[in-house]
Each structure stands twice: as structure tokens, then as C-alpha cells.
């Protein structure tokens, strides 16, 4: 069946923002104006897509970062109406549904106390190595061990979401992230997504977080110390905002964004060596305006106290239930939205300049205060180098011209 006229008109008229665009132009502008919050402008760049842990979390350590998120429309609290009744029911189901716990792990009864003593006061790398996979079981490993319904998943571990359009600040780099692999979609679906993804190795888009992971929905951040969990929460709030805006824009393309209103469509977990926080993330949609919020699902300690005994597997069971009870339906709905896209679209590149300038304006608005966030922290920690790499100024006109020329070359 041919796509309806209203759908093509909607996409062609005001959805140029979703087109994949060259990372060299749009992200170069973001890195320059977001030097605020991007440690690449302060410390020497690493050759990979991974930033050192202290460096990547520096902007989130400032207490005013939450205010900066709030100004852009992402709130580390609840919407006044909360989540939908269906989402409340979902959270309860994900917490209560039973799961089989793995055997012969460091969480076994005879090893558990010694394990907690062993990692107490140790750094994040040690906590991640010893217990992170017991709190957030990796989707790809479960798929490798026979969970067929999870073979559609792709995970990242401390890898930058370099293909994602920024929201405010540095591109996310969660300790663990999970979305859908490119191969999970059929050939026709990939064809329909292609104009909005562009070149996975070079372009940024609202669909791809990395070149081979689309539409992420789960993130985990690990920190050491009780107060550091607030930092992990800020990182997760930003991670999930970027993920949710991708989902909302996809559904907005086909006129189905209202389905997502106040509905949990992402999850995050923040933890240290003993404390765990589980959050559900959702968008509140009012016409073209979208705000992002979070819902507290659980907060507990895995220590064997009289109050908390038996909670060591709570997060593990929750995540397994997300995989088993929620992911299949979530993926099916995403595919149904993609199926509604026209199979072939021809875009005029000239229309992208205005959209790109909006992206640049949003990125630029995150500078200034964020620059002070990172500079203050790095200076306090003695991480500020004696000399900083110079960055040649780039004008908006130059950036747009570069973007247009690149797009014309790629999308004829």
C-alpha cells in the first residue's frame, strides 16, 4: 500500500531534524560550543571513543548540572500527573515476577559477605568487574547462552554514543548501555530508516546511538561512595533523555507520539558496592513540546542486614524481567512505527540548514555554565593541563555550508 499523503507531507515539511547529518560539521560545532561540558576541550583527546572515567563524569559532579538539565526540559523528578496506570502496573510486575538466580557466583551465600568486604572502598573498575553483571545481567551474554528473544540486542560498555544527537552536554558514555542491533531490523525497515541514519560511521542521528546500536532503552552507571550515586543518577538522567528523545521523534514522524505520553520507555540503574537505585524514564508530550522525567522504582542495599536481607538479587531479577516481559513488546511497537514510514523518500538538502542551526543553538545554550562545571572540577582535582589545545573558531555560516556540501555529496 502506498504511504498516505499526510504522512509524506509531515515528514517532508518539518522533520528534516531527523535526517542523519555529518558528524564532522554538526558534532564539531557541538564539541566547540559544548566545550562546557565536554572534557575533550580540556584534556588531550583519547584515540578511541572512550573517555577516562574521571573525565567523562566531571560535568555531572557539579550540583548545578541538574538545573542545566531542567532548563532544557529534562527533570530529575516526576511529572505532576506521574506515570500512566499501565506503567505503574508494569513496574510492579517487573519487580515481583520470579526469576531463577544464577549459581556459582560471588553472590552465593557462602561467598557473599566476603565479596562485599573485598570490594569495599575499591574503585569503580573493581566494583564493575566483581559484581556489576550480577546486578545488571548483560543482555548479549544471556542471548549467547540461549535466550533467543534477546538476540536482537546490542550493548555498549563504557563506549561513547557518538552517533547520537546531543541533548545538553557531552554525548552519553554509560558504563553499560543496551539497545537494538542493526541486524534486528529487516531489510525494508533498514531502508526506511536509512534517510534518518545516514552513514553509521560518520553521521549523527535520532535513531543510532552508535554505528551498530539503535534506540537504547537501558543504561547503568557505577560509582563508588554513597554521595557518588547522585552523580550516577545525573549521568543516567542525561543518558535516558537522549535515548527517549530518539524514540519520541521516531513516533512523532508517523503521528503516534501520543502513545508515549507519561509511559515508561526506558530504565536506568545506579549502584555502588552495596547501594542500588532503579529508575523508570518517560516523556511528557504536549503537541510539539516534550519534557522528560523519571520515576523511582526501587532503592535498596544488597547488604545482609535484617532489613535488607535477600535483596541482593532484586536488581538482577528486575532487569531479567525487563528483558523477558517488556523488551519483546517494546521492539514490536518500534517495528510497527518503522513499518509506517514510506519506503522511499527524496529530501532536498537545502531544508537542512534551518534545522541544523536549531541544533547548534541548542548545543550553544549548554555552554558557559557547563564550561565552569568542568573547569572547576578538573582544576580542583589537578587534572587541568598547563596548556590547552587550541580550537580554531568556526562560524555558523561555515558550519552550515560544510554540512550542506557534505549532505549533498552523501544524499544525492
Q: In this predicted model, what pLDDT tens digit does every residue of 332-352 receive, in sequence order?
A: 999 999 999 998 765 544 344
pLDDT at 49: 56
Residue 375: is its pLDDT beyond 60? no
Report the relative pairing of strands 21-22 and 275-286 from DSSP bridges: unpaired
* pLDDT tens digits, one per residue of 210-257: 999 999 999 999 999 767 999 999 999 999 999 999 999 999 999 999
Residue 400: is its pLDDT beyond 50? no
Q: What DSSP element (H or E) covers 216? A: strand 213-222
pLDDT at 34: 44
Helix or strand or coil: residue 327? helix
* pLDDT tens digits, one per residue of 174-184: 999 999 999 99
Confidence of residue 383 (pLDDT cuts 50, 70, 90): very low
Query: What DSSP line would sit under 7-54, residue for residue?
Result: HHHHHHHH-GGGS-EEHHHHHHHHHHHGGGT-GGGTSPPPSSS---HH
> What's the whole-model pTM score?
0.79
Angle at 307 between CA 111 and CA 229, to 5 degrees: 75
Kindly state the average pLDDT of the residues 187-203.
85
User: What length does the chain have?
Assistant: 412
Amino acid at each position: 500500500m502506498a504511504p498516505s499523503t499526510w504522512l509524506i507531507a509531515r515528514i517532508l515539511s518539518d522533520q528534516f531534524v531527523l535526517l542523519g547529518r555529518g558528524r564532522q560539521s554538526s558534532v564539531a560545532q557541538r564539541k566547540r560550543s559544548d566545550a562546557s561540558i565536554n572534557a575533550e576541550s580540556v584534556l588531550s583527546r583519547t584515540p578511541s571513543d572512550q573517555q577516562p572515567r574521571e573525565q567523562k563524569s566531571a560535568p555531572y559532579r557539579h550540583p548545578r548540572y541538574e538545573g542545566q538539565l531542567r532548563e532544557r526540559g529534562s527533570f530529575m523528578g516526576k511529572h505532576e500527573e506521574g506515570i500512566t496506570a499501565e506503567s505503574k502496573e508494569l513496574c510492579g510486575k517487573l519487580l515481583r515476577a520470579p526469576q531463577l538466580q544464577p549459581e556459582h557466583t560471588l553472590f552465593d551465600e557462602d561467598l557473599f559477605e566476603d565479596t562485599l568486604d573485598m570490594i569495599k572502598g575499591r574503585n569503580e573498575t573493581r566494583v564493575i568487574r566483581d559484581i556489576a553483571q550480577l546486578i545488571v545481567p548483560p543482555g548479549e551474554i544471556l542471548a549467547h547462552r540461549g535466550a533467543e528473544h534477546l538476540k536482537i540486542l546490542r550493548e555498549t560498555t563504557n563506549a561513547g554514543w557518538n552517533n547520537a544527537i546531543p541533548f545538553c552536554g557531552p554525548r552519553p558514555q554509560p558504563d553499560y548501555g543496551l539497545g537494538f542491533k542493526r541486524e534486528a531490523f529487516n531489510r525494508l525497515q533498514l531502508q526506511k530508516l536509512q534517510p534518518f541514519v545516514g552513514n553509521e560511521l560518520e553521521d549523527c542521528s535520532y535513531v543510532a546511538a552508535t554505528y551498530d546500536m539503535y534506540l537504547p532503552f537501558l543504561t547503568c552507571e557505577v560509582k563508588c561512595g554513597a554521595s557518588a550515586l547522585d552523580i550516577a543518577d545525573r549521568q543516567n538522567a542525561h543518558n535516558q533523555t537522549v535515548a527517549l528523545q530518539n524514540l519520541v521523534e521516531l513516533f512523532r514522524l508517523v503521528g503516534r507520539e501520543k502513545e508515549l505520553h507519561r509511559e515508561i520507555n526506558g530504565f536506568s540503574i545506579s549502584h555502588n558496592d552495596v547501594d542500588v537505585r532503579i529508575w523508570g524514564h518517560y516523556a511528557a508530550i504536549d503537541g510539539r513540546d516534550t519534557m522528560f522525567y523519571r520515576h523511582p522504582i526501587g532503592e535498596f542495599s544488597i547488604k545482609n542486614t535484617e532489613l535488607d536481607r535477600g535483596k541482593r538479587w532484586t536488581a538482577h531479577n528486575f532487569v531479567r524481567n525487563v528483558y523477558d516481559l517488556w523488551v519483546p513488546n517494546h521492539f514490536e511497537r518500534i517495528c510497527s512505527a518503522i513499518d509506517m514510514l514510506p519506503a522511499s523518500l527524496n529530501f532536498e538538502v537545502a531544508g537542512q540548514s534551518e534545522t541544523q542551526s536549531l541544533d547548534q543553538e541548542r548545543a550553544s545554550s549548554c555552554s558557559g555554565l557547563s564550561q565552569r562545571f568542568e573547569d572547576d572540577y578538573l582544576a580542583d582535582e589537578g587534572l587541568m593541563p598547563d596548556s590547552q589545545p587550541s580550537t580554531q573558531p568556526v562560524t555558523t555560516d561555515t558550519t552550515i555550508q560544510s554540512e550542506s556540501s557534505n549532505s549533498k555529496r552523501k544524499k544525492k
